[in-house]
Amino acid sequence: MDYARMRAIADELMAHAPEDVWATEISGDEIIMMMSPANLHELIVYRLAKRLDRQLERSGTGLIAHGGADIEDPESGVKRRPDVMVFPERALESGEAVHPREVVAVVEVVSKSNPENDYEGKMRDYPTMEVPYYLIVDPRTGTGLLLSAPHQTPEGRRYSTRREFAFGETVQVGKWEVDTADFPVY
Whether 13 is in a domain gets the answer: no
- CB atoms inside a 10 Å sphere around CB 115: 15
Name the pTM for this structure.
0.82
168: domain CATH number is 3.90.1570.10
Whether 17 is in a domain gets the answer: no
Whether 106 is in a domain gets the answer: yes
Q: Report how many domains make up the chain.
A: 1
pLDDT digit string (tens) for the chain, length 186 residues: 788 777 777 777 777 766 665 677 777 777 776 655 668 888 999 999 999 999 999 999 999 999 889 999 998 889 999 999 999 999 999 888 999 999 999 999 998 888 998 999 999 999 999 999 999 999 999 999 999 999 999 999 999 999 999 999 999 999 999 999 999 999
Structural domain that includes position 67: 38-179
Dihedrals phi, psi of 56, to nearest 5 degrees: -65, -40
Amino acid at position 56, single letter? L
Whether 21 is in a domain gets the answer: no
Residues counted in the chain? 186
Whether 6 is in a domain gets the answer: no
Distance CA 150, CA 117 (A): 19
